[in-house]
Structure 1
Amino acid sequence: MTTTSWEDLVTSALLGTDRRPPAGAQPAADAPVALLDAAALHTVRRRAGLVPAPAAELPQPAPHDPRPPVPEAARRRLTMLLADRGAGQGGRRGSAPDLTELLPQWLAAANEHGYRAPAPVLPALLDAARARTDLRPQALAFAGPRGLWLARFNPEWKFALRGAAGGTALPAPDDAEGVRQLWEEGLFAERVALLGAVRAHDAGAALELLASSWSTERADDRLMFLDSLRGGLSERDEPFLERALSDRSRNVRSTAAELLSALPRSAFAGRMAERAASCVGLDHTGDDATITVEAPHECDAGMQRDGVLPQPPTGRGERSWWLGQLVEAAPLATWTARLGGRTPRQIVALPVADDWRDELHAAWCRAAVRQRDADWSRALLGSASADGPGTSSSAERSSLLSTLPEGERAAWVAEFIAAHGLSEAFQLLGVCAVPWARPLGRAVVDALDIARDAGSYPWSFSGVMGLAERCLDPAEADRLEVLTAIPDEPEGASPGAGGYWSEAFQRLVATLRLRAAMHEELRA
């Protein structure tokens, strides 16, 4: 009877023991008793869940998290946001706030206050971070050492073991033995944190630590370790980065070249400046000075070692591809000396011969972003009310704007919206600090109001409206209340547009007030 399956017993009970006696029993008076005995035995096993075995070793207790607890009202809010994270909103969204989009802001605010995550919500928090990669940095920082400890017990949370900011107390940077042990035995996230701590204390020691295991690291790990050197990058890093130019991974080589190009006095920057300067010069034979370009005729071994990729993308000419990489990697100061001592604005305004202007300006845009040069970014952006002299796309404008101070960035985008409307501004809004500065926020709302009054399709502006829900200053809610009324629809307006606009502004106002309440709960 002990080998009879539960399914067999259920079948016997349904058909009757006369027609289907349990295994090992005859169709007789004892068959029902045998069936019940077998069912009782199986029931005990099913309730026990596990075959008796020696007890496993208990895990180490979760580490202590010294951060203060989240206020009770804020904890309830977090529970609600996590419970709603999977709710879909197909079709018409209505006037209710989208709680899914508020979770990142709640986590960012909680981390600013330095709170620790409530233990009961850690599983839901890790599930949310697994489902949404954009949540991971804030969610793992909030989960802290206990979240990392818990992630070890569920394979679905293994992402946290590589992406968390830490969880193990780091040894003192001058504790050579402790540093060595954690570097050799720690999780990847712990090693990244350790490298950063040692680098902040002694940059030379950090490079020695990295070099000690560099040849045995995985390519992906080498790339991430190299990327961590961006903070505090200095001339002391040059020898290590020069060696990385010969790495077997193309991505590592490219990153090393990018970092070296941000060191204007490095030998790499000098080599790239010499190559780029040999391709670009001034022609004074006409009435006005003109930039002339002679793109490289080959991509030699030295160029390839310095990160120049020889094979262009589909549809791109080889020579223009090589030229762009050289100009992008050359220090921008090269051009002031090369082009007659002119300022960035004067250089960008010069005519370029033989249709090389777009290629040259695009490379300068990439160089300005890579080298975080605000003067060159301003020159290439030009006035927000007119097309910039050196930009041809929203992606280029966004990248250049990211190098400017936050206030200047917001003012430029506000002016751009006033001149061009919202259709081309969506990507630009994404690089502005949150909450938006008041002039920028009001420029966005004014443009939405104009679109509403014109009877435009409201769903055409759903992306901007979603950004406004997340990025407008919550203090603007009362001022926007007047826009929640259903407007009169002008002749030729989209049918039902007024109702859609009313719902959208109701949702905007409700979301802003909910964000204000969230921040107030976290301050309690």
Structure 2
Amino acid sequence: MTTSARPSSASPSPSSAAAAPSWDDLVSTALLGVERRTPPWLQGADDPAAALLDLAAVRTVQRRAGLRPGTAAPLPEPARPDPRPELPPAARRRLALLLADRAAGGSGGRNGSAPNLAELLPQWLAAANAHGYRAPAPLLDALLDAARARSDLRPHALELAGPGALWLAAFNPDWKFALRTTAPASPSPGAAPPPGPEERSTLWQEGLFAERVALLARLRATDPAAALELLRSTWAQERAEDRLMFVDALREGLSASDEPFLEEALSDRSRNVRATAAELLSALPGSALAARMASRALACVSAVPGPGGGLRLVVEAPAGCDAAMERDGVVARPPSGRGERSWWLGQLVDATPLSAWTEAFGLPPAALVELPVADDWQADLHAAWSRAAVRQRDAGWARALLGPLPEPAVRPAPVGDPARLLAVLPEEERAAWVARFVESQGLAESHSMLGVCAVPWSEPLGRAVVDALDIARDAGSYPWSFSGVMGLAERSLDPSAVDRVAPLAALPEETENGSPGAAGYWSEAFGRLAATLRLRATMLQELRPGPAAAP
């Protein structure tokens, strides 16, 4: 063994073991610098810095030589079993391709004719869950990474991943979101039934937050009373943010039996919990809170004879917001730019049962909506009625506020947010209304309305959208302004519509008044739409049990 060429005087010899510096002493001296402070155990060395390094080298060998093997920790408990069937082989390969494309940054985008696979992943997950499949174990990490990157994927991704995702999330901080992400309110048909009373109690007391919320949601769909009893058992010990999520889960199966609990929640320490409880109570037309709100709102609105002999509505907005109103969920401070009185009035009308207006004035919803409102209060009153119709899921009021089906060349003036009102209507009626809107008004204001229509779109709605896109192309319209609707069509058109779309991908001649390059864009966009529809048809076929088409 070769000895060091460094002079022996470089390393002082401590007089005793007690004088030997500890590892922490060495680190502190190195950080401070021997030029600023020389400890006693380096004094007398020809080169204190070299001596410090020699001591550190010796101490490193001592530390390594003195290590004792650690005690083996017990293996973690395995994940709960998942009884659902595995994906068919072709569908498993398809999921791997979709996840790999997402990790690579997406292949389609809005350029080129290739389908945008990243935008098809949410639809694929929903379809796989509808069949009741579980994700393959080797793909759980990629599925969790995808859900981490896109919050809109999380409920369906975690439903497909099942208990394996929660097990993995406990070991990786990047996946902690899975422990607090709620499951879909309506579990897929293939999901396991709710656990029995004993297992239910154990899971509620000891489970992860996501498991507890999922249990509560599933129970609300099958046994609302049992879910409420479970929630009451630990309510006082729950954290504020957890109480908020638990109260929100009561939307499923909400009934008059929930009223006593929600009335108690109006006095909760958390403002958000109080607000959610008030919102749910206002959705119960027979609740005491709904009656209190109706009394306040009706005191602000009255019907008087109008100049032409008919009736008109007169509004006297609240002059203040007292403590009783605040307890019932009225927020006293308005947002910036909003007047206090109109803000308070809107909240009172929001929470009033819509039946109270028809009973008080003896008129159906359509007649009430048509009444003139004095002093420019019509917009505030109708917007509040619109929000109430959405909250109470009242299709009759939604129809009245939307008005009749649009006529060609007539610009409708729906009240509030038409898309939210449309969501209250049955699926077929909703699709018919939007199809008529597209036929009469085009696509300029239809994007949000199309977004609330059931997927895949009905044949009349799909035909109206494709025809409107074709008309826009023939008119030389600026093509890039239709990219949002084109993206919706890729995800929402029934795959059978490919026979109507494919011929439109032929490159047309440039029109005299058209935008430069528009013809090529339209051809490319329709080509991508046709390719996406074919791919969606293949993906759905792969998910069906039995022989499936190869990817």
Query: Normalising by structure 2, what TM-score?
Result: 0.82
User: What is the distance in 2 between the residues matched to 1:459 and 1:198?
Assistant: 47
User: What is the distance in 2 between the residues matched to 1:477 and 1:299?
Assistant: 57
Aligned to 1:37: none
Unaligned runs of 5+ residues in structure 1 are 2-22, 25-40
Aligned to 1:331: 353
Aligned to 1:428: 449
Match of 2:75 among 40, 54, 58: 58
Task: Answer whether contact 2:346 2:381 (CA < 8 A) is retained.
Answer: yes
Counterpart residue type for residue 516 of structure 2: P
Match of 1:189 among 200, 210, 218: 210
Aligned to 2:292: 271
Task: Answer whether contact 2:456 2:494 (CA < 8 A) is retained.
Answer: yes
Q: Residues 199-240 of structure 1: CA distance to partner in whole angstroms, max 9, x if unpaired?
A: 556544433332232233222111110011111111111111
Identical aligned residues as a percent: 67
Aligned to 2:102: 85
Counterpart residue type for residue 90 of structure 2: A
User: What is the distance in 2 between the residues matched to 1:259 and 1:165?
Assistant: 20
Distance 1:470 1:347, change over 3 A: same
Match of 1:404 among 425, 428, 452: 425
Task: Answer whether contact 1:68 1:114 (CA < 8 A) is retained.
Answer: yes
Distance 1:54 1:65, change over 3 A: same
Aligned to 2:89: 72
Q: CA deviation at 1:406?
A: 0.4
Find out whether 1:162 has 2:180 as its counterpart. yes
Q: Residues 111-141 of structure 1: CA distance to partner in whole angstroms, max 9, x if unpaired?
A: 1111111111111111101111111111111
Aligned to 1:391: 415
User: What is the distance in 2 between the residues matched to 1:460 and 1:389?
Assistant: 23
1:25-424 matched pairs, under 5 angstroms: 53-86=70-103, 87-88=105-106, 93-163=111-181, 165=183, 172-175=195-198, 178-199=199-220, 203-284=224-305, 286=307, 287-339=309-361, 341-385=362-406, 386=410, 391=415, 396-424=417-445
Task: Answer whether contact 2:106 2:117 (CA < 8 A) is retained.
Answer: no
User: What is the distance in 1 between the residues matched to 2:526 and 2:375?
Assistant: 51
User: What is the distance in 1 between the residues matched to 2:142 and 2:68?
Assistant: 30
Q: CA deviation at 1:72?
A: 1.1
SS at match of 1:489: coil
Distance 1:310 1:57, change over 3 A: same
Q: CA deviation at 1:88?
A: 4.6
Aligned to 1:484: 505
Counterpart residue type for residue 308 of structure 1: V
- Structure 1 or 2, whichever has the larger Rg, is 2
SS at match of 2:443: coil
Structure 1 residues 138-147 or 509-518, which shifts more?
138-147
Q: CA deviation at 1:102?
A: 1.0
Aligned length: 474
Task: Answer whether contact 2:402 2:418 (CA < 8 A) is retained.
Answer: yes
User: What is the distance in 2 between the residues matched to 1:169 and 1:444?
Assistant: 39
Distance 1:92 1:209, change over 3 A: closer
Q: CA deviation at 1:61?
A: 2.6
User: What is the distance in 2 between the residues matched to 1:57 and 1:271?
Assistant: 59
Distance 1:329 1:255, change over 3 A: same
SS at match of 2:162: helix
Q: Residues 52-77 of structure 1: CA distance to partner in whole angstroms, max 9, x if unpaired?
A: 53333222233322212211111111
Distance 1:149 1:421, change over 3 A: same
User: What is the distance in 2 between the residues matched to 1:461 and 1:193?
Assistant: 39
Q: CA deviation at 1:196?
A: 3.8
SS at match of 1:298: coil
Q: CA deviation at 1:388?
A: 5.1
Counterpart residue type for residue 465 of structure 1: M
Unaligned runs of 5+ residues in structure 2 are 2-49, 52-60
Task: Answer whether contact 2:473 2:522 (CA < 8 A) is retained.
Answer: yes
Q: Residues 143-177 of structure 1: CA distance to partner in whole angstroms, max 9, x if unpaired?
A: 112222222221111111121549999984433xx
Distance 1:128 1:199, change over 3 A: closer
Task: Answer whether contact 1:391 1:397 (CA < 8 A) is retained.
Answer: yes
Aligned to 1:438: 459
User: What is the distance in 1 between the residues matched to 2:87 and 2:226?
Assistant: 38
Distance 1:51 1:456, change over 3 A: farther
SS at match of 2:380: helix
User: What is the distance in 2 between the residues matched to 1:461 and 1:198?
Assistant: 43
Task: Answer whether contact 1:279 1:293 (CA < 8 A) is retained.
Answer: yes
Task: Answer whether contact 2:194 2:218 (CA < 8 A) is retained.
Answer: no
SS at match of 2:135: coil
Task: Answer whether contact 2:108 2:114 (CA < 8 A) is retained.
Answer: no
SS at match of 1:490: coil
SS at match of 2:336: coil
Task: Answer whether contact 1:273 1:334 (CA < 8 A) is retained.
Answer: yes
Distance 1:293 1:101, change over 3 A: same
Distance 1:492 1:387, change over 3 A: closer
User: What is the distance in 2 between the residues matched to 1:463 and 1:210?
Assistant: 43
Counterpart residue type for residue 291 of structure 1: L
Distance 1:352 1:171, change over 3 A: closer
Find out whether 1:461 has 2:482 as its counterpart. yes
Task: Answer whether contact 1:141 1:164 (CA < 8 A) is retained.
Answer: no
User: What is the distance in 2 between the residues matched to 1:327 and 1:290?
Assistant: 18
Counterpart residue type for residue 479 of structure 1: R
Q: Residues 281-323 of structure 1: CA distance to partner in whole angstroms, max 9, x if unpaired?
A: 1002631111111111111111111011111111111111111
User: What is the distance in 2 between the residues matched to 1:285 and 1:485?
Assistant: 60
Counterpart residue type for residue 193 of structure 1: A
Q: CA deviation at 1:389?
A: 5.8
1:511-522 matched pairs, under 5 angstroms: 511-522=532-543
Structure 1 residues 467-476 or 138-147, which shifts more?
138-147
User: What is the distance in 2 between the residues matched to 1:65 and 1:490?
Assistant: 59
Task: Answer whether contact 1:380 1:388 (CA < 8 A) is retained.
Answer: no
Q: CA RMSD in A?
A: 2.5
Q: Residues 9-28 of structure 1: CA distance to partner in whole angstroms, max 9, x if unpaired?
A: xxxxxxxxxxxxxx99xxxx
